[in-house]
Structure 1
């Protein structure tokens, strides 16, 4: 190879949490310019890192005891009080290789853009990647469904939803949100559906899947009917849980993440289908978020196989379980791309084109 073919090598500053979003997404910007043929691109699961905004949410707590307790924790150095996270076992950042996991610390004093700091950063992200809309999700609340603190999920849900409605959504129409449902309290979920279903920018209702509740319980039927009436989807967002007894046998984060992330959504979907919830609420759209896609054909095959042998145990079903799954919606990033042929089969089985 002659010298003329060599590219000039230059030193680049280290990417940290303080790096400007537009800089560390520069490759994504070039990629977006090569794919301008897409008329509409929606990021349906944009995780926000709430650490630097958490005090704003704490201030909105409607329970004075929890509010004062959380504020005292903040003063004592706790980053995300009441969130039920396990910071001592947070391997998500890969020992600092993914710096944005701790929350962006980049400057947001650009005179050309205004508004809340979070809104400014999301705008940069959307503009750089060529995304038309981003649907934001509260990362820190993934494990709230297992919180042992009485009322923590209920009051944090209300505070987050109010913060979203009153502070974030009015500042940018391209930012969309889902109502966080404190699923352990059916009555409170119903109140939130009534209060937030018509809020501009609210496009659906989210249940964090890491929780031990039966989604087919009769106590949820009125909630499902209310959501169905809004015409907006019900979202089940997957998440990992290393504290589950089964997954405590795994000694590496990679092992737990591979298995645990799909675990709860598989349980909820199995209960959802076998108990014929789609037949009871045929117009209720369900969206299953994260956990990859490989579990979908697996569950289709397992449920179809069992159903054909034991149809008497699922008398409410009028077709194969996989046929109900084909009518559902799925979102995941990244997809399992290592085996492209398997990914193609997955796409075909879930009717990805439609």
Structure 2
């Protein structure tokens, strides 16, 4: 039996806001809001009702159909002691754990400091309590996309810390979209620091989906993650981000891979009809997209696996893919989703399971 090194490019850490609050100054008004959201009780200092830090999003993550995952309970929060058992459960050598709270940034519509405070305290907490490169445990800096200047400050402060392997930009919520010039200082400093930018999707809940009136979570979970990644990849390519920052490594996570050839060919067709609207581009949009990296989760495995084989070929081959579990979410993928694919060579399996992630994130 072949033994593979396995690097998980996208697992999630369900951080406790009460723990993050300890990294805020005592006179910071957000400290009490973090605590009250965690405990669900009025704090002595505020004397008021608890304040929820996030709008809610309906839809149970613990509903199972034909795919049974009884070991997943979608915990409220996690601690540092939970990471090694997860790695053992999945058979991981390395694990990149991303903030769970960053996935909800798309719901935050208020013009306040929530994203900034969450991003900084999460990063400090993870470096202090969780990240341990000697044990294969890494993380990324969450990007408060509404404040590009502050995001640049975070990258400047933390990019060189051991265990920081990327900047995580959520693709749900940014307006204007992420190819806009207001975000270019972020891409500039990440390129200079050699820090990959990971565009991670979000926006699957009924309340947060941009079209109102869907009635079931299955509808928006099908569309939301897919739509938000497609929207941002179109913006990044057409606005020439990969041309302007040719040494910047770009990753997209958590919307499968079957959508990628569709957008490649649709963008090419549009570009060939109206290239004047994308004057920065020096080659076809699909050629830039073949230079991006894609997390596989949730990998679509059709009955005819030749279709999956063709999709991988169309997006540039196995070198473009990174194994991602999305644990502890209910629809996570084990490494066997790759090792069981007979059409992949042993070298291709090794690249997807760890080789590419190790190179791109310098693990």
**TM-score band (shorter)?**
0.7 to 0.9
2: CA distance, partners of 1:328 / 1:172: 28
* Cα gap change, 1:47 to 1:134, in 2 (>3 Å): same
Show structure 2 runs of 5+ residues with no match.
43-49, 320-363
Q: Following superposition of structure 1 onto structure 2, how do residues 131-280 of structure 1 map, counting pairs within 5 Å? A: 131-149=92-110, 150-170=112-132, 173-213=135-175, 214-241=177-204, 242-244=206-208, 246-280=210-244
1:171 Cα shift?
Answer: 8.2
Q: Tell me the SS of whatever aligns to 1:291.
A: coil
Q: Which moved more, 1:299-308 or 1:63-72?
A: 63-72
Q: How many residues align?
A: 304
* Cα gap change, 1:338 to 1:72, in 2 (>3 Å): same
The alignment's C-alpha RMSD in Å is 2.5
Show structure 1 runs of 5+ residues with no match.
1-33, 106-116
Q: Following superposition of structure 1 onto structure 2, how do residues 1-354 of structure 1 map, counting pairs within 5 Å? A: 34-36=1-3, 38=4, 40-50=5-15, 53-62=16-25, 64-77=28-41, 83-86=53-56, 89-94=58-63, 100-103=72-75, 118-149=79-110, 150-170=112-132, 173-213=135-175, 214-241=177-204, 242-244=206-208, 246-339=210-303, 340-354=305-319
1:176 Cα shift?
Answer: 0.5
Highest relative contact order (Cα 8 Å, sep 6+), 1 or 2?
2
For each residue in 1:244-302, what CA deviation from the matched residue of structure 2 results, as whole angstroms up to 9, or x when unmatched?
A: 46443322211111111111111111010011111110000000011111110111111
For each residue in 1:23-66, what CA deviation from the matched residue of structure 2 results, as whole angstroms up to 9, or x when unmatched?
A: xxxxxxxxxxx541x2x21001011223xx33101222357212
- Normalising to structure 2: TM-score of the pair? 0.77
2:191–2:247 contact (8 Å) kept in structure 1: yes
**Which protein is bigger by CA-based radius of gyration?**
1
1:99 Cα shift?
Answer: 6.2
2: CA distance, partners of 1:154 / 1:75: 22
- Normalising to structure 1: TM-score of the pair? 0.79
Q: Tell me the SS of whatever aligns to 2:96.
A: strand
